[in-house]
Homo-oligomer: A and B are copies of this chain.
Amino acid sequence: MKNTLYRNSLVAAFSICFSFAQAQQPAIIEDFKPSELNQPQQEYPMVNSQGYARFKIIAPAADSVRVSLGLGGRGGTKLAKAEDGSWMGTTEGPMDEGFHYYNVRIDGGKFNDPGTLNYYGSVRWESGIEIPAKDQGFYALKNVPHGNVQQILFPSPSTNTSRRAFVYTPPGYEKGKDKYPVLYLQHGWGEDETAWMNQGHANLIMDNLIADGKIKPFIIVCTYGMTNDIKPGQGGGLRSFKIEPFQTVLVDELIPYVDANFRTIAKKEQRAMAGLSMGGFETKTISMNKTDVFDYYGLLSGGVYAPADFKDKPQPKLIFISCGSKERPDGVKKAGEELKAAGFNAVSYVSEGTAHEFQTWRRSLYQMAPLLFK
C-alpha cells in the first residue's frame, strides 16, 4: 500500500511537467487491475480506479494496432510497441463508468481483443470492458437467492422458424405456485436478445431488488427485435426494418407462448413493455398500436411520449422515460413534466454522467422496476 502511494506521488509529480501534453487529464494512478469481463487467465485489458483503461495486444509483426472504443470511450487509443514485442496503450482520459463495447484495428482489419469476453452489439460480437462504477452494487453478483435465466425456442409461424428468447424467472419460481407479471424488455439496434442479461445484468438487478424487498418479483422476457433477418453478405438491418412483422412475433406468438408455458398473470394490467434505443421505438409503436396488451411503458434512451399521442387512447398505468445525462436529458425531463401535467402517471429519470450506453440502461431498469405492476 505504501509502495503504491509512493509510486502514485511520483507519477503525480512527473505529470505536472507534461500536463500541457495531457490535455488537462488527471495524472494516471497506477492501480490498474484486470477488467472484470476478461477471459480466464487474461491480465489485459486493465482498468484503474480513475476509469482509465490499458490495453495489451500481442502481434509482434504488426505495423499498427489501435483500439476503437464506442461512445463514452473518448475515441480510440493508438497502441505503441513495447519492448517485449507486444502493443500497449492507455486511454487518453478516464472513461464513463460501466460497460463499453470496443474492437481492435490491426493492420487495417477489425478484430476482437483476445483478452476479454465478447458481447453482441453493432451487428457483431464486440469486445467488452467494464469500468467499475460507484453504484456497481445494484448489479453485482451477491450471495442472495438467484433467479434463473432460460433460453426458450418458441414457434413463430409468421417467420417460419423457431425464435429464441431469454426468460428471467425470479428466485423460488421453479418450486413455487405463484403467478407473476411479465416485463417484455427489448435491446437496441445491432444488439440481440442476449444483451439485457449479458451486458445489462438484468437478472442480477432483479435478484438484488427482490432480496432487498424493493420490488414484487416479476418475470422478464427478452427476444430478438428484428425480423428482416439478414442473410449473409446482405445489408438489411435498420433501413429495411418494419415494425409490423415484429409486432406479430411479439404479440401474437411470443406472449401467448409465454402465457401458456410459464406461470404468468396473463392480462394487460400485469404486463409491461420497455426497450432501450431502437427497443424504445418498438415499445412506443407497439404500445400505441396494441393498447389492449400492455399497461406499463418504458422508453430508455428511446424517445418520449407526448400527451397528444394518447388522443382516443387509454392512459397506461405508467410511463417511464429515461436517458443518460450525456444524451438529451432536457427533452426527457420536459416530456415527463408535460405528461404529468396532462394527468399521466409519468416518471422521468436521468442517469448522471453516462451516455447512450448500458450503464444508463442498467440504472434505468433499476429505477423502473419498483414502479411496475403497482
The interface of chain A, by Cβ under 8 A from chain B, is: 34, 38-43, 57-64, 85, 104, 106-112, 114, 117-118, 123-125, 141, 143, 146, 148-155, 162, 167, 169, 174-175, 203, 229-237, 260-263
Contact = CB atoms under 8 A, between A and B. Distances in A.
A148 B141 contact: no
Contacts of A34: 232-233
A42 to B, nearest CB: 6
B153 A150 contact: no
Contacts of A60: 107-109
Contacts of A203: 151
Interface majority SS (helix, strand, loop, mixed), chain A = loop
B232 A59 contact: no
A199 to B, nearest CB: 15
Given A106-B106, A106-B109, A118-B125, 11 more contacts: A41-B232, A41-B235, A41-B236, A61-B64, A62-B109, A63-B107, A117-B125, A141-B162, A148-B151, A148-B152, A148-B167
A155 B104 CA distance: 37
29 contacts: A40-B123, A40-B124, A40-B230, A41-B123, A41-B233, A42-B232, A58-B110, A59-B107, A60-B109, A61-B64, A61-B108, A62-B106, A62-B109, A85-B108, A106-B109, A106-B111, A107-B107, A111-B111, A112-B114, A117-B125, A141-B153, A141-B162, A143-B155, A143-B162, A146-B154, A150-B150, A174-B262, A175-B260, A175-B261
Contacts of A57: 109
A59 B108 contact: yes
A102 to B, nearest CB: 13
Given A41-B236, A43-B233, A230-B41, A61 B149 contact: no
A169 B153 CA distance: 12
A234 B231 CA distance: 42
Contacts of A150: 148-151, 169
B125 A39 contact: yes
A202 to B, nearest CB: 12
